[in-house]
Each structure stands twice: as C-alpha cells, then as structure tokens.
C-alpha cells in the first residue's frame, strides 16, 4: 500500500517576524507588584520593574496624568524592554505611542507639531453608542432566484431563533449578497446591525457541533442567544485624539490615516475637537483614556523640544510620558551647556527617574535561554556557557545576535543542535565592539581620515607617502 504524504501548508497570516523584544509579554509582576525572577520574558531589573509596575497601576486607575518617567541606564540594560512590558500590560484599549527622539528631525513638519501629534496619539477617547441589533442562530436560509436572469433581483427568507423565540425575516438583494460573502449557513450564530445592515458572524452554535467529523482550528462555538431576537446594545469605539484630528482636518478624511500624509493640523481644528469631546464627557457619551507616550533616545531632542515638553505636560489632557536614555552627563542639544542625561534641569525636576542596572552572569544566561527558545534554536549546554561568557565579556546584544548566526552555521554542517564549534565559528566571523576597536587601533594608519594622534617619528613618513 502506497504511503500517503500530506503536504505541509504554511499559514501566511500566522508567520511573525522575531524582533529584539518580541519575547516580552509583560512586566512579570505578581498581584502584590513584586517582580518574579523570570516571568513574561523579563529577567532581572527587579527594582526598575517594581517601579514601572507602580506607575502602571496608577495609569490603570486614572490617578496619574501629565507625569513623566525617565528610564536611565547603560546601553543593553533593558530600558526599551521595560517600556514594551508596560505597553503589553496596559492592554489594547489603552493607547501606547512609541517614537525615537531622532524621528522628529526627519519629518516634513515642525518639531513641535510632530510632538503635539505624538501626544495626541497617546490620548484615547472611548465613545459609547447605543444601537439596535438582531442576534440569533440561523435555522434556514431560502433564496428565490428569478427564472430569467436580469429581469428581477433575488429575494429570500432568513429564519433566526433564540432560546425563547423564532422569527422569519424577508431578505433583499444586498442582504443576500452579504450573507453569501460571509458564507453564512444554518447553525451559525450571527448579529445584524439594523442601522447599517452589517452582518457579523459570531460563531457556530454548540447544538450543531457534531454536524461535521473534522473542522478547522478557527471554528468557534458559541451558545444560542437568549431572550428576544431584537436587542439594544451599547457599542464602545476606542479612537485616539490624533485620529479624530486627522479625519476632521484633511480633505481625504480617514484615508490620510492609512497613507500617513497627515501634514500639519491647524490649532482651530484641535480646539473644536477638544470642545466637542468635553461636551461628550459631560453628556456621558465619551470618556478620556490617558495613554502612554514613549520617547526612546530622548537625549536626541533639542532645547526647543524640551521647552515644549515642559509646557505640554501641564495640559489637562496630557498622557503619561515615558522617556529613555543611555547618556551620562552630556551637552544639551542646541546649547553649549552640559546636564545629566542631556536633559535640562527644569525638565529633570519633573521626572520620576527609574534606573536600570547591568545584568549579572546568571541573568544573561537566562535571557539567552529565552531568546534561543523565541528564535527556535536548540543549543547544547556547553554552547550556552560559551555564549554567556561572550555576553559578559563583550555585550548582551552581541551574544543575542550570535544565536541565529550560530544556528545557520549549524545547519551548514547538517547538525541539529548548536555546539561550541558553531559559536566559535561565528565569533571569528563577526567582531564585537572591543575587537573591532582594537583592530582599528592597530591598523589606523591604513584608514582614511584617521584622527588617532601619530607618534613623532611617523609624521615625516606620512608626509613622504603623500608626496609620492
């Protein structure tokens, strides 16, 4: 009997790119806001994570607005990871806008306008709306097609039931087309919006779960709706103030949200929107959700941007500002003055500063274990020990980059588990910062525009070489 081979099909929608922080799922805190040693992709930095957890709790309770937090620490100590953990812990309904300090200088608009847009991206508006819907389980769909095509449109009947009642609805051509597009059949539980006629498929009824022997993983089973078929339902839309600004300011309306061509938005438009949102809040139709604006590499901002941030944080509808930097005492951009982290003292005074500490050897080992698992790379114990040593002596980022490179070297020799030889091979192929700097120091005379001071005897040789 011939063996049947099932062809493997890859679901393209489920393929995800593995990023630098794709393993972060949250801050890894328990109910008492104590940091677990290893949890939700986070390792170490217990003090910083606990501090971020307190800030997170205040954000969720709505007790903090217009506050600013600074994540300060050496490169590769998990500042961006903590910010990503905060974003994941907040959930989808709380807006989280992310940008790098240098982005402001490459946009086709003024720096303050770009910052204003970023601020409004981080402020959400939860708009409540009541709508009438018909919700029930499909019993039968009858479609009458005309005998002669093109003479009359299709008509039909839709029978819906709930646990208490059953009703037959007449269908027009558009509704029949919508049912066909959604592939609705008997046994499906659907919701129809009476105002727009939009059909939403909620899933299959539990009563019809045994209709087929095999079903796909995306098949969702739901209970048959209870009570009346026609119901009034409160729908909540979550949008950001920036999205409302764009829709009201551009001629192409909401399409500008997809093209990204938002341009500068006039102050009058924003004032009108703020007034309207304030009215909705008074009427109970909407509520403001202050989100988080995260600015990485904040030392790249100049004195104008810092002055704007000082004023913007005093606004009634300001989000929580989280900034990160890896600089020590350095020059404030746009001035000749030096300041801690390259941030003016008056703005530093407004910041709650969370400092991150370098990872220990054990923590580096745990992070490399998590990254190996995330990148689907099997590694021997000896290889992990060597990689941890590289992480301690060179840098954690360099060690993380070697994981995938070592996996490819392992594939090349047709191996299944990454061994010490694979790590050694890629370590020789790719230099870290220390070895690269050492190489430059040794051969600096052979590079163009080298600024390393020459020894006294080398000056004449250099001049002779240039003349020849």
Q: Of 374, 461, 383, which Cα lies nearest the Cα of 424?
A: 383
Q: Of 242, 235, 205, 236, which Cα lies nearest the Cα of 223?
A: 205
Place of tokens 């087929």: 212
Place of tokens 């839309």: 237
Tokens for 447?
Answer: 């590079």
Tokens for 107?
Answer: 């946009």
Q: What angle do CA 276, 280, 285 make, to 5 degrees?
A: 150
φ, ψ of residue 200 to 5 degrees: the values are: -120, 125
φ, ψ of residue 136 to 5 degrees: the values are: -170, 175
Do residues 154 and 176 touch, judged by C-beta distance below 8 A?
A: yes
Tokens for 466?
Answer: 């240039």
φ, ψ of residue 97 to 5 degrees: the values are: -100, 135
Q: Which domains does the chain have, with CATH numbers?
A: 37-94+291-358 (3.40.50.300), 129-235 (2.40.50.360), 361-443 (1.10.8.60)
How far is residue 25 from each of residues 84, 87, 203, 362, measured CA to CA in Å? 8, 9, 28, 21
Q: pLDDT value at position 342?
A: 92
3-state DSSP call for residue 353?
A: strand
Q: In whole angstroms, what is the distance from residue 418 CA to residue 401 CA?
A: 14
Q: pLDDT value at position 148?
A: 63
Q: Which residues pair with 140 in a beta bridge?
A: 159
Say what the pTM is.
0.71
Mean per-residue pLDDT pooled into runs of 10, the chain (468 residues): 41 52 82 83 88 86 77 89 86 84 83 90 87 86 72 78 86 83 85 83 80 71 84 82 83 57 80 90 86 91 92 85 92 92 92 91 91 89 93 90 91 90 92 90 82 53 43
Q: Is 24 exposed, middle or buried (0-12, 13-18, 19+ CB in 10 A)?
A: buried
Q: pLDDT value at position 63?
A: 65
Tokens for 192?
Answer: 């129809």
């Amino acid at each position: 009997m011939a063996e049947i081979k099932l062809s493997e099909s890859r679901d393209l929608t489920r393929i995800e790119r593995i990023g630098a922080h794709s393993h972060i799922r949250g801050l890894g805190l328990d109910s008492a806001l104590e940091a677990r040693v290893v949890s939700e992709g986070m390792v170490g930095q217990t003090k910083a994570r606990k501090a971020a957890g307190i800030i997170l709790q205040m954000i969720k309770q709505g007790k903090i607005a217009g506050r600013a937090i600074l994540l300060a620490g050496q490169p590769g100590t998990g500042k961006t990871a903590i910010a990503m953990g905060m974003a994941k812990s907040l959930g989808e309904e709380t807006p989280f806008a992310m940008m790098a300090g240098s982005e402001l200088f490459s946009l086709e608009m003024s720096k303050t306008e770009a910052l204003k847009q970023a601020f409004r991206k981080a402020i959400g508006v939860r708009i409540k709306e009541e709508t009438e819907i018909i919700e029930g389980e499909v019993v039968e769909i009858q479609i009458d097609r005309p005998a002669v095509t093109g003479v009359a449109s299709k008509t039909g009947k839709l029978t819906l039931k709930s646990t208490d009642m059953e009703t037959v609805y007449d269908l027009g051509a558009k509704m029949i087309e919508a049912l066909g597009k959604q592939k609705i059949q008997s046994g499906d539980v659907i919701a129809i919006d009476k105002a727009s006629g939009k059909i939403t498929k909620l899933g299959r009824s539990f009563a019809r779960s045994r209709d087929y022997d095999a079903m796909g993983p995306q098949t969702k089973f739901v209970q048959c709706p209870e009570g009346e078929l026609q119901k009034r339902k409160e729908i909540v839309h979550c949008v950001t103030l920036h999205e409302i600004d764009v829709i009201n300011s551009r001629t192409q309306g909401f399409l500008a949200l997809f093209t990204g061509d938002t341009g500068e938005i006039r102050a009058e438009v924003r004032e009108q929107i703020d007034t309207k949102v304030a009215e909705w809040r008074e009427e109970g139709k909407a509520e403001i959700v202050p989100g988080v604006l995260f600015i990485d590499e904040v030392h790249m901002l100049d004195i104008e941007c810092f002055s704007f941030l000082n004023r913007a944080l005093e606004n009634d509808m300001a989000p929580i500002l989280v900034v990160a930097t890896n600089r020590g005492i350095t020059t404030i951009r746009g001035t000749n003055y030096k300041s801690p982290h390259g941030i003016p003292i008056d703005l530093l005074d407004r910041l709650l500063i969370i400092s991150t500490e370098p990872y220990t050897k054990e923590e580096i080992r745990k992070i490399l274990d998590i990254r190996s698992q995330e990148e689907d790379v099997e590694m021997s114990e000896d290889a992990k020990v060597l990689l941890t040593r590289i992480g301690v002596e060179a840098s954690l980022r360099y060690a993380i980059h070697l994981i995938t490179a070592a996996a490819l070297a392992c594939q090349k020799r047709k191996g299944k588990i990454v061994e010490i030889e694979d790590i050694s091979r890629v370590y020789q192929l790719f230099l870290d910062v220390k070895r690269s700097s050492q190489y430059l120091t040794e051969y600096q005379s052979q590079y163009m525009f080298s600024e390393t001071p020459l020894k006294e005897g080398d000056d004449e040789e250099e001049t002779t070489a240039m003349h020849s």
